[in-house]
Structure 1
Amino acid sequence: MAGPNAPELLTRPDGTPIRVLAVDDENSLTELLSMAMRYEGWEPTTAATGSDAVRAARDTNPDAIVLDMMLPDFDGLEVMRRVRAEQPDVPVIFLTAKDAVNDRIVGLTAGGDDYVTKPFSVEELMARLRSLLRRSGATSKRSESELIVGDLVLDEDSHEVTRGGDEIHLTATEFELLRYLMRNPKRVLSKAQILDRVWNYDFGGQANVVELYISYLRKKIDAGREPMIHTMRGAGYVLKPA
């Protein structure tokens, strides 16, 4: 759970990660922004040209766009115009050169939501993004009682579980098993570890109960969807975002 000094964790209202498209022809800058966004628990997508940005926005349906005003093919204003023709409400933060006062005025007049002048601190940009996302209504504050892995959300207080917004009904043991997996995402857990944590007894001929309950969970969590629960032969099980 987040401590008192941990950054506020934002998600989409359905619990899935915030999606942000970062557009700049400086690869080192978009890599830096991607790292900062992943640290926030968001899903970044990058593009280096206007045409790539329009295509990426269509593919990912971002919650916000960080958009350089100057791009190799066409400018950021044209990117915003084309994206908003299909996604009229997506908020945009423009990146502008320090001396390009006209760019900033034109960008905001044309419908941009904010701008940051290069060079800028990543911390400042991320703070602006968080504020913009909250204002736009694209986010909900992540409850400290929630565990979230990909589009799977488990509320430890209410015992509600959803995947992709669809409610999933679990027995008490299934819930406890899923909670243990979700507290250790991307980590391989052995049958012995699972038995000890979920059933509270030592490993000794009881591996089949773990296999049985993993199969129950799979039918409820993964049925008809991209699998999240994976068997690592000879090692155990791992829960990963789809």
Structure 2
Amino acid sequence: MSLSLLIVEDDEELATQLGEQLSLFGHRYTIIGDGRRANQMIATTHFDAVILDRILPMIDGVTLLKSLRQHNILTPVIMMTALGQSRQKVEGLESGADDYVVKPVDPAELNARLQALVRARGWTDNRADETLRVGDLVVSPARHSAWRDGKALRLQKTEFKVLAELVRHAGTPVTRAMLLERVWNYDFEPATNLVEAYIRRLRIKLMEFGGDDPVVTIRGLGYMIRG
């Protein structure tokens, strides 16, 4: 999915490098170097998502984000900062950020987060209890139930949450870090292979009644349900 992005970053070299890296994924980008101009641009121009630096001249990223949300501007925002402490992350998310990344940013992971965020926003805006269908898979968040080829899958709570996250973003990679955040609410890497273990269990249950494995492993990035 090609996206129109606004990169709000006062380090011109970093912003240009990030924009060029994201353009390799087919995205279009605009760069703004201060919070005040970014505020005006977001209010008058449509963007699929905003990549917002936390520390900016004129208006800082947190203040800008609070202003956008107060004016009911709901454009998806990923906050980007060199600060990796939990307090800064919580402050950014509480201000209205949809996601949070720490510099230096891996462009492949940032692309995956952008794709998942935009898909999730579209899904959420429709109906939070909407039934999701991908191929022969059907997932009902409202009923906390899932079926494959018409047969009910016997999933534990966490297995269901992993499947729902993958199906919600079908055709788009979901990184290990994203699963840890959205399924387990972790903002750190656990010492165990937690995600890998649940993916293995989920695969077994998805193929219990036959059929190919619908979960694709993308080496070095994460997992994806074939869209």
Q: TM-score, normalized by length of structure 1? A: 0.47
Higher RCO, 1 vs 2 (CA within 8 Å, ≥6 residues apart): 1
After TM superposition, the score normalised by the length of structure 2 is: 0.50
If you compute each CA radius of gyration, which structure gives the higher value, 1 or 2?
A: 1
